[in-house]
Amino acid sequence: MSGSDLNELAAMAGAQLVRCGLRLATAESCTGGMVAQAITSVAGSSDWFDRGFVTYSNASKRELLGVSAATIEQRGAVDEETAREMAMGALRASHAGIALAITGVAGPGGGTPQKPVGTVCIAWADRGGMVRSEMRRFDGDREQVRLQSAHRALGGLVSLLADRRGA
């Protein structure tokens, strides 16, 4: 998996977003804008990408996306509920019809026995009330974890959009 693979996946997502008539917003923590960078590498992405939020700190998750302080305090920044609230917050703070969010522990430090390095939570939400999330554990160094996280987030978006078109 490489950055060019990620750019190809971003182009696929863009084509599906156009077919569905949707714009995308992103909320990224551990990936630090990697998904938004891949998206904006696609010519014409301004037609389907509304905005991206890099919310690395807990304060930024609360202030920019409206993630509940209680969620972060009780569940932590790396949690499916936090990722869901990030995705829903990105929708509220944008003109997008669908959003994705990523939060995780890229390493090499910061892991715990419950959430070791490589633990990543990803969520997708749309204005129709769909909210999905998952927790993954990725292997590799910091950059590999970040790249796999971004790839999975865009891959999940492509799958959701394909399901939507088939429905």
| Gap between the Cα atoms of 118 and 122, Å rounded | 13
Q: Which two tokens stand for residue 92?
A: 């509220």
pLDDT tens track for 45-95: 999 999 999 999 999 999 999 999 999 999 999 999 999 999 999 999 999
Asked if residue 97 lies in contact with residue 23, where contact means CB atoms within 8 angstroms, the answer is yes
Q: Cα–Cα distances in Å, from 166 out to 16, 19, 66, 85, 162?
A: 12, 12, 33, 27, 6
Q: Which domains does the chain have, with CATH numbers?
A: 3-166 (3.90.950.20)
Give the pTM. 0.96
| Gap between the Cα atoms of 132 and 156, Å rounded | 10
pLDDT at 166: 62
| Gap between the Cα atoms of 10 and 35, Å rounded | 8
